[in-house]
Amino acid sequence: MANRHHPSVFLVLVTVLLSIHCSEQLQSSHSQTLLRIQQLLNFPAALSNWNSSTDFCNTDSNSSLTVVCYEDTITQLHIIGERRDTPLPRNFSIDSFVTTLVRLPSLKVLTLVSLGIWGPLPSKIARLSSLEIVNMSSNFLYGSIPQELSSLSSLQTLIFDNNMLADTFPHWLDSLQALTVLSLKNNKFNGSLPKSLGNVENLRTLSLSHNHFYGAVPDLSRLTNLQVLELDDNAFGPQFPQLGNKLVILVLRKNSFRSGIPAELSSYYQLERLDISSNSFVGPFQPGLLSLPSITYLNISGNKLTGMLFENLSCNSELDVVDLSSNLLTGSLPRCLVSNSSDSTVLYARNCLDTTNQNQQPQPFCHTEALAVGILPETKKHKQVSKVVLSLGIVGGTLGGVALVLLVFFIVRRGNDRSKTKNPPTRLISENAASGYTSKLFSDARYISQTKKLGAVGLPTYRSFSLEEIESATNYFDTASLMGEDSYGKMYRGQLKNGSLVAIRCVEMKKRHSTQNFVQHIELISKLRHRHLVSAIGHCFECSLDDSSVSKVFLVFEYVPNGTLRNWISDEHARKSFSWTQRIGAAIGVAKGIQFLHTGIVPGVYSNDLKIEDVLLDQNLVAKISSYHLPLLSNMGKV
C-alpha cells in the first residue's frame, strides 16, 4: 500500500518545494530592488535597518517607513527622509533610480518625501501603471511633470509640493478623471490655468500655493466635489473665481484679485477656513461670513472692503481667528467678537471703527478712500487734453471756424422759430430704456415722433452695465485708457467684450442718493440717441459706502474716432480734404443735433455752451455734438 502511494506523495512534495522556491525567488527579486533603492538614496536613516536578511513584507511600520505586500508583491512603499535642505550627492542619477523603482510593477502607493532626490522626473515612471497615489514632495525635482503620467488611469492623488518644478500647468490633467487630490505647492510653475481644469470633476483638493501662476481662475463651479482650494501667493485675478458651494477651505491670500466678494459666499455652509487677505477686494463686507455654521478662521485683512459693522451682529461661537484689519470698515465692533477675544484672536486695526483699540483711522479717511475704490489707479494725478473727445479749453480758431459757428447758430435760431409756430405731435414715453426702472416716474417726459425718426441708427440698445464690465473695458481704469479730464470728471476710452469701442465718463457725485433718485436723469440720458449726438448707450452705478448710496455714475457713450471739427477746418493738412460741401453738411448736422436737444425731449436740454471743439466727426465725417449740458452733471463735486 505504502509503495503504491509513494509516487503521488513524491509529486506533492516536489510541487510544494517548487512553489516555495518560486516564492523565495520572487521575494529575493523584490529584496534586491529595495536594497538597490537604499543604496541609490545614499542609505538614509529611515532605511538603516535594511539588510539582505530583512523580511520586508513583515517589518514593523513607522512614520518614516512602510512597506505593504499583497500576495508576495510590494504594493505600497513609503519612505520619508530628513533631507529637506540638501540634495543627494552629485553622483546620484534619477534615471537609474526610477529604472530600479519600476521593477516593482505592482506598486499602487508611492511616497518618497524629503530624500534629496534631484533632477527632472523621467517619463518612465509611468511604467508603474497601477499607481493610485504618488507623493514626491520636499525633494529637488525640476523641469516639468512628464505628460506620460496622463496614461495612469487609476491615479487619484498627485503631490509634488516643495520642489523646483517649473513650466506651465499640465494641460493634459483633465485626462486623469480619477484624480481627487492635486497639490503642487511651493514650486516655480507659471502661466495661466487651462479651462480644462474645470473638467476634472472628481477633484476634491486643489493646492497651487506659492507659485508664479497668473490670470483669471477658470470656471470651477462644475467641480461639485471640491472641498479644498488653496491658490495663495500667486498673481491670480482680477475676478473672484466661480466655485462650487461645498468648499471647506478657501485660501486666496496674496494674489491680484480686485473685484467684489460674491453674495453667494455667505451660503457656503461647509466653509471652515476663509482667507482672502492681501488682495485688493472692494465693495461691501458681508457680515454673514461671521456666522457661517462651520467657520472657524476668517481673514479679510489687507483689502479695501467697506461697510458698517453693528454691535448686535451674530458670530459663530467656534471662531478661533478673525482678522478684519486694514480695510475701510466703519461702525462698531460686534459684541460677539469682543466676548470671544479672550479665547480667540480678533484683529481689526487700521479701519475706522468706533473704538480706541488697535490703532483706528479717523472716519474721513475711510470715507475718502471708499470714494476711490475700484475707480482711480494709484498714479500721480495729471490732466491730459484729448484730441478725440475732450478739447475743452482750446482758445481761438481760424476765420473759417468762426464763420461756421455763426452759420450753425443762424440755422438753430431759424429752427427754434419754426418750432414755436408749429408743434409736432407728441406721445408719452412707454419704453423703459434703463432696466429695472418704472416708466410711470417719467410721465412728464415726452418724445417727439418726427425727431425720433431722425435718431441714431445702428447703436446697441441702451442698457445698464456692471462695474466689472466697466473695469474690464478700461483695463481697470489704466492711465493708458484716460483720454482727458475736465470739470465734469475723467473720460476713458474703453473696449467692450464684443469689440466695440466706447467712451466712458466717470461722474463723481457731490451728494449721496439712492439709485432711485437718479432714475429720471438716467431715463433722460437713455433718450439722447441721435445721428448728430455722441449718443449714450448705457450707464453704471457704483455704490461704495455702507449706506449703499451712489458715489459714482459711469456714462457710456459711443466712440467717435475722427477728432474735432475744429481740427478738420483749421489744420492745414486736413483742410484740403474737408470740402465746403462737407462743412455745410457738418453745420446742418450740428443744427439738427441742437434742435433735438431743445425740442426732441421735454424737458429739453439747454445751456449747452457749445464750442466748435465740442463737435466730433465719425468715420463717415458725420458731425456729432459731444458736450451737452446734463442735469445729472450738476450734482458733481467738482462743478
* Predicted pLDDT at 451: 36
Answer yes or no: is pLDDT of 533 > 80.
yes
* Predicted pLDDT at 548: 62
Percent of the chain having pLDDT more than 70?
75
* Predicted pLDDT at 517: 57
* Predicted pLDDT at 432: 31
More confident residue, 283 or 576: 283
Q: Give pLDDT tens digits for 475-512.
A: 988 888 888 887 778 889 999 988 888 999 888 876 65
Answer yes or no: is pLDDT of 362 > 60.
yes
* Predicted pLDDT at 250: 97
Q: Is residue 355 part of a domain?
A: no
Residues 6+ apart with CB under 8 A from 296: 272, 273, 316, 318, 319, 320, 321
- DSSP letter string over 494-526? EE-TTS-EEEEEEEEEEEEE-GGGGHHHHHHHH
More confident residue, 608 or 485: 485
Contact 111, 80 (CB under 8 A): yes
- Mean pLDDT value across residues 316-329: 93
Task: Characterize the bridge pairing of strands 321-323 and 345-347.
Answer: parallel
Answer yes or no: is pLDDT of 575 > 90.
no
* Predicted pLDDT at 122: 95
Q: What are phi and psi of 64, to 5 degrees?
A: -100, -20
Answer yes or no: is pLDDT of 162 > 90.
yes
CATH of the domain at 565: 1.10.510.10
* Predicted pLDDT at 539: 87
* Predicted pLDDT at 364: 84
How does residue 236 score in pLDDT terms, banded at 50, 70 and 90? very high
Q: Which of 191, 260, 172 is nearest to 471 (CA)?
A: 260
How does residue 371 score in pLDDT terms, banded at 50, 70 and 90? confident
Reading the block at residue 203, the C-alpha cell is 477633484
Answer yes or no: is pLDDT of 609 > 50.
yes
Q: Considering the chain, what is the average pLDDT of its residues?
A: 79
State the Rg of the chain over Cα: 36
- DSSP letter string over 340-357? HTTTSEEE--SSEES-SS
* Predicted pLDDT at 123: 94
- Mean pLDDT value across residues 182-202: 94
Q: Which of 87-96, 207-216, 363-372, 545-554 has the lowest mean pLDDT?
A: 545-554
* Predicted pLDDT at 601: 67
Reading the block at residue 476, the C-alpha cell is 481697470
Contact 154, 131 (CB under 8 A): yes
- Mean pLDDT value across residues 370-398: 41
How does residue 218 score in pLDDT terms, banded at 50, 70 and 90? very high
More confident residue, 90 or 383: 90
* Predicted pLDDT at 372: 63
- Mean pLDDT value across residues 18-26: 39
Q: Give pLDDT tens digits for 67-85.
A: 988 877 899 999 999 988 8
* Predicted pLDDT at 294: 92
Q: Is residue 308 part of a domain?
A: no
- Mean pLDDT value across residues 190-200: 94
Contact 439, 427 (CB under 8 A): no
Answer yes or no: is pLDDT of 637 > 50.
no
* Predicted pLDDT at 171: 92
* Predicted pLDDT at 389: 32
How does residue 395 score in pLDDT terms, banded at 50, 70 and 90? very low
Answer yes or no: is pLDDT of 576 > 80.
no
More confident residue, 27 or 20: 27
* Predicted pLDDT at 11: 44
Answer yes or no: is pLDDT of 18 > 60.
no
Q: Is residue 571 part of a domain?
A: yes
More confident residue, 317 or 373: 317
Residues 6+ apart with CB under 8 A from 134: 110, 155, 157, 158, 159
Q: Which domain holds residue 513?
A: 463-635
Contact 136, 113 (CB under 8 A): yes
Helix %, strand %, coil % for the chain, to 5?
30, 25, 45
- Mean pLDDT value across residues 207-211: 97
Rounded distance, CA 482 to CA 474, Å?
A: 8
Answer yes or no: is pLDDT of 410 > 80.
no
Q: Is residue 281 part of a domain?
A: no
Q: What are phi and psi of 205, to 5 degrees?
A: -130, 125
- Please, what sign has the CA dihedral across residues 90, 94, 100, 106? positive
How does residue 629 score in pLDDT terms, banded at 50, 70 and 90? low
Contact 281, 305 (CB under 8 A): yes
> Is residue 330 exposed (0-12), middle (13-18) or buried (19+ Cβ within 10 Å)?
buried
* Predicted pLDDT at 300: 97
Residue with cell 455654521: 293
Q: Report the number of distinct structural domains present in the chain.
A: 2
Answer yes or no: is pLDDT of 434 > 50.
no
More confident residue, 562 or 126: 126
Q: Is residue 437 part of a domain?
A: no
Q: Which of 11-15, 156-160, 506-510 has the lowest mean pLDDT?
A: 11-15
* Predicted pLDDT at 16: 37
What pTM value is reported for the model?
0.58
- Mean pLDDT value across residues 140-154: 94
Q: Is residue 528 part of a domain?
A: yes
More confident residue, 100 or 521: 100
CATH of the domain at 128: 3.80.10.10
How does residue 399 score in pLDDT terms, banded at 50, 70 and 90? very low
How does residue 402 score in pLDDT terms, banded at 50, 70 and 90? very low
